[in-house]
Amino acid sequence: MRLHLCAVGRLRAGPERALVDDYLQRLERTGRPLGLGPVTEHEVEDKRGGGMASEGALLARAIPEGAALCILDERGKVLSSPEFAQALAQFRDGGRQDAAFVIGGADGIDPSLRGRSDLVISLGRMVWPHMLVRVMLAEQLYRAATILAGSPYHRV
């Protein structure tokens, strides 16, 4: 199953970019034998200032047809790492060829996009900067692959 990280904004060179790249590289190595990967990043920018609706339209174009859609939203469900790994496995085992993980802009996710999601998750009740959310998502995707592989990376 191909994985897509779809996010509003550009992640420039720096420590966050280095961390995302590191975790995605690890995910590629661990996930491929499990049927997870490759990972593609899709970055969109609303240069016209159309707000949440415009960002939602740009994100919707970045999501592959038929992809399992996972929205990251502070009002979503808080999952443990093993629960997240299980959700990923269910998408894969259910025959989905793609899974898209969507990180919205400063105002959040357009309700029309959020409404068609398969899963809405929260990384906790706190609000995180978008660049850190990408790092945390990349790490959790890698962690999910290690859980599914039976690796000791995740300790209970």
> Per residue in 60-119, pLDDT tens?
999 999 999 999 998 899 999 999 999 999 999 999 999 999 999 888 899 999 999 999
Cα torsion angle, 93, 61, 142, 21, sign: positive
**Per-residue pLDDT reduced to its tens digit, 28-38:** 999 999 999 99
Give the pLDDT score at 49.
76
Average pLDDT over residues 37-42: 95
User: Among 84, 133, 91, 115, which Cα is nearest to 3's?
Assistant: 91
Give the pLDDT score at 38.
94
Instruction: Examine the pLDDT at 154 and tell me if it is beyond 80.
Output: no
We find that the CATH architecture of domain 2-149 is 3-Layer(aba) Sandwich (3.40)
pTM higher than the cut 0.75 = yes
Detail the DSSP E strand segments found in the chain.
2-8, 39-44, 68-78, 98-103, 119-122
Give the pLDDT score at 48.
78
Give the pLDDT score at 107.
85
Euclidean distance between CA atoms 125 and 78, whole angstroms: 8
